[in-house]
Structures are given as structure tokens and as C-alpha cells.
Amino acid sequence: MKRILLDHFDVVSLKPKDSFSGTSTSKAVDLIMNLLNGYTGIGSVLIRLDKEILLGWLFNGIEAEVMQRGEDWKSGKIYVSIQFIPDEDEAELNEADKPQKVLPPSPLDDLRNQLRQANK
């Protein structure tokens, strides 16, 4: 099963009833912040979600669509998970081994380069 780790600014589309933010479309960071706020008791989001929705987020997945920068919408399921990386594995990783998110060229790249050259 291929897994995609979402960036804070990736856009997630869900049914409003399944969303921690109560909206159908949110940035991943907004879903995380609403989840944290609910967990700590600010807004009590988790208390209002029924058991079925919580189990979906944790174990069964919630039907969703995700749009990442420079890509089209992808449909699938979204999960909340906790990751563990043992110290010895983390020490073996270096920057070259870590996945790099490659963004498509921006139409503003030429302008940025011109401004950098002008400021030198």
C-alpha cells in the first residue's frame, strides 16, 4: 500500500461530518490544529465526534480527496497515525536518503532570479 505523507499546506476534501474542522475542504494543517484543539479540550471537537468517525480516522480510514502542489486531486482514504522511528534508524538517515518533495517550476522563477541578480 502506497502512503503519502501530507504537507501542512496540502488541501484535503472530506464530507463535513467526517472533518475535524467541520468544513468540507481544509488545509492539512487546519485539520491537525482542530484535532489538537479538540483533544486538549479547546472547542471539544473530539467529544462531539461519534465513535464511528473516530474509529474511521484511526483504523478504517475516511474517504477523502487530496490535492498537493502541482498535482491533480487524488481520491483515497485519510488516516491519523503515530509513527515511531528507532534511534539507530534515524541516525542512519541523512538528507540524501530522506524523501524530497519536488515542486514543479513556478512562472515566478525567472522573476526571482532577475531580482537576485539585481540585488548582487
How confident is the chain (120 residues) per 10-residue block, as mean pLDDT?
85 84 82 66 49 77 92 92 75 57 66 77
Q: Is 44 left (phi over 0), alpha (psi -120 to 50) or beta?
A: left
Q: Where are the domains of the chain?
A: 11-115
Burial class (CB in 10 A: 0-12, 13-18, 19+), 115: exposed
- In the prediction, which pLDDT does 12 show? 93
Report the alpha-carbon distance of residue 66 to residue 51 in Å, rounded: 24
